[in-house]
Structure 1
């Protein structure tokens, strides 16, 4: 497998099993994630499946998820 790097084409991540939240918008405006072999997570826009993937470490994703659970981003909900 080629090296996985931030901004690479999401379609180039071999073996990716993309998934989205059950709360996702039915019109397809979703964020999708896939686990990476090193424990990190890749994130892509479901409307552009071959577009760039944002790559986060396991620690970065854990911090984000904990923050979301704690309400740190509630002011961003419309």
Structure 2
């Protein structure tokens, strides 16, 4: 995944002017997960209920997450206790 230097650079980016997107059919006033696209394929993610806490992912991390989600890796009914 991302090196420590990549993560440090990612968290050093000023993202105050990014455009946050939520799932289609939702509004910013609803509880939802929002993402913002960053340079070089990186992505920032936050909750609409806590806009100050932002997670940032390198392009490789985001790709791994998306592929895992598509494959059902995070489905609660598939997890073992």
- TM-score in terms of structure 1 length: 0.69
Aligned to 1:65: 66
Aligned length: 69
Equivalences for residues 33-48 of structure 1 within 5 A: 33-48=35-50
SS of 1:59's partner is helix
CA distance in 2, matches of 1:71, 1:56: 20
Larger Rg: 2
Q: Which structure's residues are more often helix, by fraction?
A: 2
Closer, same or farther: CA 26–56 of 1 in aligned 2, 3 Å = closer
Closer, same or farther: CA 5–28 of 1 in aligned 2, 3 Å = same
SS of 2:50's partner is coil
Long gaps (5+) in structure 2: 1-8
Runs of 4+ displaced beyond 6 Å: none
CA distance in 2, matches of 1:60, 1:33: 14
Higher relative contact order (CA 8 A, sep 6+): 1
- TM-score in terms of structure 2 length: 0.67
CA distance in 2, matches of 1:29, 1:46: 6
Long gaps (5+) in structure 1: none
